[in-house]
Structures are given as C-alpha cells and as structure tokens.
Chain A
Amino acid sequence: MKLRKTYTPYLFLVPALIFMGIFLFYPIVDVFRLSFTNYNMIQEASYVGNQNYQDLLNDPLFWKTLKNSFIYLIGVVPLLVILPIFIAILVNRKLKGIKWFRAAYYIPVVTSMVVVGIMWKWLYRGNGLLNYLLQTIGLINEPISWLTSTDYALYSVMAVTIWKGLGYYMVIYLAGLQSIPQDLYEVAQIDGANWWQKHLHITIPLLKPSILLVTILSSIAAMKVFTEVYVMTKGGPINSSKTLVFYIYEKAFENLNLGYAAAMGFVLFVIIFILSFINFKVLGQE
C-alpha cells in the first residue's frame, strides 16, 4: 500500500468534487447569500439586509402556503406510516401469485408524478369515474368538485400523494418484517395470542426502525411537494392548494424574485432540518 502516491486518492475524488462543488456546495452558500439580496436576474443584486425575511413575515400568501404545507404533512404522514404496514403484513407471506400483487402495488411508485397527476385529474372530474363509484356505493349523494373547490382541492391532491407512496413504504416495511425472526410469532401462537396481539406486541415494536425511517422520509417528502400540485391544480382555486415549494417556484421562476424565493428556501431548509431532528428524538428514544 505504501507504493501509492499521496495524491492518488485526491485524483479519484476530483471529478466528484468538481460536480458537487458547482452544483451542491456553491449553491448552498449562494442561496443563503441571495436571501439577503433583491436579485431578479435583470439588475445587479444589491444587499437589502434582512428585508426579505421581514417581507415574508408580512406576506399572507407565505403564511397561507406554509399552513397548507403543514396540513399536507399532518394529513399525509400518518396515513403513509400506517397503511403500508398493513399492506406489507398482507403481502409478507408465501402465497401463489403474491409476487404479482407486490408488483401491482409498486407500479404507481415507478410512474412519473406528472402522469399520476394527469390520471387522477381525469378520475376526479365532476362527471368522472371516482364520483360515479362513490355514488354507486352510497358514500356521497352529489358529485364532488374534487379539484375545483377550495374546500377539497388540497385534500384531493394529498390523496394522490398517499396513493403514489403506498408501494414505496410497503417495500421498506417488507424489508423490516423479513428481519423479524419467525419463531417469535410461533411462540406467541402457542401462548394463544390472536392476530392483533401478535402484531401489536411483536411486529410494531420490532418494526420501529422502519417506522422511524418512513416517518422521516414521508414528512420530508410532504414538505417538498410540487409536481402533483403543478399538474392538478396549479395551486388553485384561490391558492387553496398552494404549497410552500410551489410558492417558491412561482416567486423564483415566474416573478424572477430570486432573493425573496431564496429566503423562503432557507425557511424550508430550517423546517426540514427541524423535522428530521424531531423525528430522530421522538421516535428514536429507545
């Protein structure tokens, strides 16, 4: 090993460091710097102190989108943490054709969000299939304007995020389930435990690392939602489904108010950082 020249390791690292330097390290610093400027692509940037951050505090739309993003988080995360556990338990068994069911549950994950959004827009129409099915089974009396009513738009988009995520988190849980020793269940069986007791006392506690992982992943993903909103509602009607990242996108690339967008970006970064931290602390205590 001594024959190796001292600069050899760095040579191997150079391409990666160039890429990451330009497109990751530099932008991290640059976005933070931009958030203290009024840069708009046309004029030279000038420093405005913490003006952008003060403007944020007085921007009702910022608060509205922040609130929407938190509603998104609170609505999406619990369902994405819990539902896939049941699906994973259901498919974690030797059964003829089970491979095909697993594949079927994973297909939404590999499909692009653009197509998923378009597909659901079609389903959500006033005279669309979803309203028809729900009316047929008697869940609703009148067709609902899922995407065009301020009451429902945000929740309808959330449902699509959940639908697309089920398979992904199922796979994570499946890996967790397969690491649980089978004899634990056999012992419980002998002790006369029923289905609920077995899973409540064996599966859930032993699945804790996976649950933590899914909670973190799904909450970060919920804070970053963009494509489903862009495709299905463009944030409407009247901003009712506008998320924080969508607002950042609008400010940065439609209004070219990059300094302001950078300030919001920094807020988003802090939120995501805090979320991961809380998740680790709360769920990783033991």
Chain B
Amino acid sequence: MSNEFNNILKKILLYFLLTIIALITIGPFLWLLSTALKSGGENIFSYPPSLIPKNPTLINFKKVWNAIAIGRFFLNSTFVALATIAINIFVSALAAYPLARMEFKFKNIIFYGILGTMMVPFQILMISIYIISVKSGMTDSYTGLILPVAVNAFGIFLLRQAFITIPIDIEEAAIIDGCNSFQIWYKVLLPLIKPSIATLAIFTFMMSWSRFMWPLIVISDPQYYTLPVGISYLSGLFSSNWRLIASGSLISIIPIIILFLFLQRYFIKGAMAGAIKG
C-alpha cells in the first residue's frame, strides 16, 4: 500500500521535473508566439507582462509578410537547402564508394586527408573562401551561397560507414551480371544505403536552414538573403516593432520544427553521426 503510494508520488515528482524543464526549453517560443499574436491595441511592453494575448490576431504575420520579402527569403532558403543536399549527397556518395570498397594507391592518404579537414573550423577558412568568391564573382549569387559549403568530410565519412556494412557478395553478383562500377554504385549499392542518405539529407537541411555566418559574409544584396540573414536584417529594420519581429522569426522556424516533429528519428541519427565528426 505505502509502496504504491510512493510510486505515485515518484511519478508526480518526475512529471513535475519534466514539465519545469519543458517550460524552460519551450517557454521562450511561447512568449514569442504570444507577442506575435497580440493585436495593435495591446501594449506589448506592459510590466508586468501579459502572458496571454487579449484579442489574438494573425494580422502581424500578414503585416510582416507584406512589409519585407520574407517569401523571397523563404524560397532562397529552400532552394539553397535543396541544392546543397543534392550536391552533398551526390558527391559524398561517389567518393564514399571507393573509400569503403576498393583498394587503390594513396587510399589512406586521401581518406585521412579528407578526415583531417574536420579539424579546421570554417571560421578560419572563410577568410580565404571569401577572397575566392570575390575573385570568381560568386558574391551575391546562389553559387556563392551553395558551392563553398556544399561538400564536407562528414558526408563522405557517414556514407562510407554505410557502404562498408554491405556484404561483398552482393557486389560480386552484380559484376558477374556484367554491371560496371558506376552501375553497381547506382543500381545496387545506393538503394541499400537509403537510410544513411536520408540521415545525411536531414542533417544537411538542418545545417543549411540555420546557416548564418557564411550567407552574411557572401551576400549583401537582399535579393539573395536566406531566412536567418533576412530575419536578422528584419530585426534591425523594425528595431522596436516586436510584433513584426516575433511573427517573422516564427515564420522562419515553422518548417524546420514541423519537419523535426515528423522525422525525429533522422534528426537524432544525424545529430549522433554529426557528434562523431567533432
């Protein structure tokens, strides 16, 4: 009897703790949402702050959408993310195949050379990449947003791990059937590593969607702003109109949050794989 009581008490305590932490992580988002929903008649700077909007309205979302080219930033972010994913997966999957399943001269040198680049932070390389971008006319362009950050050692490493686990007989059977190396790669092996490709795609999407420093440096024409740069620009533009800043910020994160809620498993896998990359 008292044991059961203890268990219930323990459960209540657990849920209490879990809820407190959830309020800490989610609370700021709710406050932003509350601000975005407040109508023009309500003082958003009142002290004590009013947590619940008195006359909730979506007008601020509409206003910010019309006041600034958020739609454009949205398309830019989407296009940049999709192109980055496509390039990253294609190039990484190609490179990962021989590194996982072939023997050739300089294999180790190439592999460790690629891995070694993970040690060097982008914040250092960007100085030189910026000069390359200026000299090749990539500033203020989609190529400038995409190409310099599209391919990295992480993607190659992740897909190499996936290729390694496929049994060798599958490949041998394909050779007997007369497939060449490219056909084996495309028709036989790629379908077998789909889960890893999905993980890499999600991981790349998340990185691309929130990338800030490089777009900030390489883009000065608002036509090419991605959402993070656009939202940062917006927050400077409407420095005291927090209704619009809050609405714009929320618009920019809704896609990634929805995607996360549906594809949690791949996000977590990507995070774990990304952690190993260091």
B124 touching A265, Cβ below 8 Å: yes
Q: Output the least CB separation between B93 and chain A (Å).
A: 9
Docked CA distance A258–B125 (Å)? 12
Question: Looking at chain A, what size class is its interface with the partner chain?
Answer: 35 or more
> B residues within 8 A CB of A91?
18
Say whether, besides A132-B47, A226-B123, A3 and B175 are in contact (CB < 8 Å).
Answer: yes
Does chain A have a CB within 8 A of B8?
no
B97 touching A20, Cβ below 8 Å: no
Interface residues of B in 254-278 (CB under 8 A from A): 256-257, 260-261, 264, 267-268, 271-272, 275-276, 278
> A residues within 8 A CB of B272?
171-172, 175
A253 touching B130, Cβ below 8 Å: yes
A4 touching B31, Cβ below 8 Å: no
Docked CA distance A171–B266 (Å)? 13
Interface residues of B in 128-173 (CB under 8 A from A): 128-132, 134, 147-153, 156, 172
> B residues within 8 A CB of A175?
272
Q: Output the least CB separation between A278 and chain B (Å).
A: 14
Stretch at the interface among A49-57, A60-68, A99-107, A144-152: A99-107
Nearest-CB residue, chain B, relative to A225: B123
Interface string of B207-220 (1 = CB under 8 A from A): 00110110011000
Does chain A have a CB within 8 A of B199?
no
A27 touching B125, Cβ below 8 Å: yes
> A residues within 8 A CB of B104?
6, 9-10
> B residues within 8 A CB of A266?
124
Does chain B have a CB within 8 A of A30?
yes
> B residues within 8 A CB of A204?
none
B206 touching A110, Cβ below 8 Å: yes
> A residues within 8 A CB of B257?
107, 110-111
Docked CA distance A222–B21 (Å)? 23
Q: Output the least CB separation between A79 and chain B (Å).
A: 13
> A residues within 8 A CB of B22?
101, 104-105
B90, B91, B126, B256: the one contacting A110 at CB < 8 Å is B256
Q: Output the least CB separation between A272 and chain B (Å).
A: 6
A31, A113, A245: the one contacting B212 at CB < 8 Å is A113
Does chain A have a CB within 8 A of B102?
yes
B252 touching A115, Cβ below 8 Å: yes
Nearest-CB residue, chain B, relative to A272: B121
B260 touching A107, Cβ below 8 Å: yes
B91, B107, B209, B260: the one contacting A15 at CB < 8 Å is B91
B127 touching A258, Cβ below 8 Å: yes
Q: Output the least CB separation between B60 and chain A (Å).
A: 14
Say whether, besides A31-B127, A227-B212, A23 and B151 are in contact (CB < 8 Å).
Answer: yes
B-side residues, CB < 8 A to A, are 11, 14, 17-18, 21-22, 24-26, 28-29, 31-32, 35, 45, 47-49, 90-92, 94-95, 97-99, 102, 104, 107, 110, 113-114, 117, 119-121, 123-132, 134, 147-153, 156, 172, 175, 181, 185, 206, 209-210, 212-213, 216-217, 227-229, 231-232, 235, 242, 245-246, 249, 252-253, 256-257, 260-261, 264, 267-268, 271-272, 275-276, 278
What are the 5 closest A-B residue pairs judged by CB atoms, nearest first?
Answer: A112-B210, A16-B95, A9-B98, A27-B128, A265-B124
- Extra 6 A-B pairs, beta carbons < 8 Å, given A112-B228, A268-B121: A101-B22, A112-B252, A213-B278, A226-B123, A226-B213, A253-B217
User: Can you name 11 A-B pairs with beta carbons within 8 Å?
Assistant: A12-B98, A13-B99, A25-B117, A31-B125, A34-B131, A104-B25, A113-B210, A248-B124, A252-B126, A252-B127, A252-B130
